[in-house]
């Protein structure tokens, strides 16, 4: 059940950042950068999958995600909640439970046997689907999921995530060009602000993270392994 009153968006962002820091889902390391899936270096890494192991925080964040979608997309905008394999599946299930809607999930690729399906669960013509994932960087991985959903005859014009990087300017235009609106709880900027407020990391590390967030492509170019 969705409560009638929730904090404004800015406070939801701050509290989400605080929870991610509290469970140590946020990792900053400028001296030894992380390697992203793209192969590029980054002084930041976030592990939203840890949230499933913290029931109180998980519950609050799923309430936040549900109410964010209702506020921004509409109270009767969806008839089906889909999770992207694999990180989006538990969060989609939790959001679907809150909104009293059917839940499905989308495979990254067909199984290769049986029905060779990408969609698991019941989805079809006329369904209005919300795609739920844990996070998005540049939005690229969402497009394949959305295409698979649309191939069933369903519509999908919205995706919701807990965490949005918020540092790549091409993300929102690319999603919009694919007919997709993004809903999120917080960004790296919200996490950085809360980390400074808590002095969660040393000042030099936070300064280096801010340099990355301000110009991620330049930071990656200058820290790329040769």
Name the CATH topology of 9-211.
Rossmann fold (3.40.50)
Question: What is residue 161's predicted lDDT score, i.e. its pLDDT?
Answer: 97
Check whether 152 has a pLDDT greater than 70: yes
Q: What whole-number distance in Å separates Cα of residue 107 and Cα of residue 164?
A: 21
- Position 35 scores a pLDDT of 87
Are 160 and 65 in contact by the 8 Å Cβ rule? The answer is yes
Q: What is the sign of the dihedral through the CA atoms of 107, 109, 113 and 118?
A: positive
Task: Give the separation between CA 226 and CA 221, rounded to whole angstroms.
Answer: 10
| pLDDT for res 13 | 98
**Residue 224: is its pLDDT beyond 70?**
yes
Helices (H), the chain: 9-22, 55-73, 88-99, 140-150, 171-177, 188-198, 203-214, 216-223
Tokens of 127: 């369904």
Q: For the segment 180-200, what is each residue's pLDDT rounded down to a tens digit?
A: 999 999 999 999 999 999 999
Q: What is the arithmetic mean of pLDDT over 157-185?
A: 96
- Record the pTM: 0.93
Q: Would you mind telling me the total number of residues written for the chain in this entry?
A: 226
> In whole numbers, what is the pLDDT of the chain averaged over residues?
93
Backbone phi, psi, residue 124, to 5°: -170, -165
Tokens of 132: 């739920």
CB 156 within 8 A of CB 183: no
DSSP string, 19-81: HHHHTT-EEE-SSS-EE-TTS-EESEEE-GGGGGG-HHHHHHHHHHHHHHHHHHH-TT--SEE
User: What is residue 30's predicted lDDT score, i.e. its pLDDT?
Assistant: 87
Domain boundaries, the chain: 9-211
């Amino acid at each position: 059940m969705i409560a009638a009153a929730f904090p404004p968006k800015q406070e939801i962002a701050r509290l989400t950042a605080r929870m991610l820091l509290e469970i140590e889902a946020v990792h900053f390391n400028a001296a030894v950068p992380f390697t992203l899936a793209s192969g590029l270096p980054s002084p930041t890494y976030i592990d939203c999958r840890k949230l499933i192991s913290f029931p109180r925080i998980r519950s609050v964040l799923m309430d936040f995600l549900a109410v964010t979608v209702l506020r921004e997309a509409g109270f009767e905008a969806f008839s089906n909640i889909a999770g992207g394999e694999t990180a989006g599946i538990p969060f989609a299930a939790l959001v679907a439970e809150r909104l009293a809607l059917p839940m499905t999930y989308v495979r990254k690729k067909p199984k290769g046997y049986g029905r060779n399906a990408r969609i698991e669960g019941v989805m079809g013509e006329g369904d209005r689907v919300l795609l739920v994932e844990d996070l998005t960087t540049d939005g690229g991985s969402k497009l394949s999921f959305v295409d698979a959903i649309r191939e069933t005859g369903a519509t999908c014009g919205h995706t919701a995530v807990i965490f949005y990087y918020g540092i790549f300017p091409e993300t929102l235009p690319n999603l919009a060009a694919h007919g997709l609106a993004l809903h999120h709880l917080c960004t790296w900027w919200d996490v950085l602000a809360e980390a400074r407020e808590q002095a969660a990391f040393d000042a030099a590390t936070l300064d280096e993270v801010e340099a990355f967030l301000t110009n991620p492509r330049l930071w990656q170019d200058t820290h790329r392994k040769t």
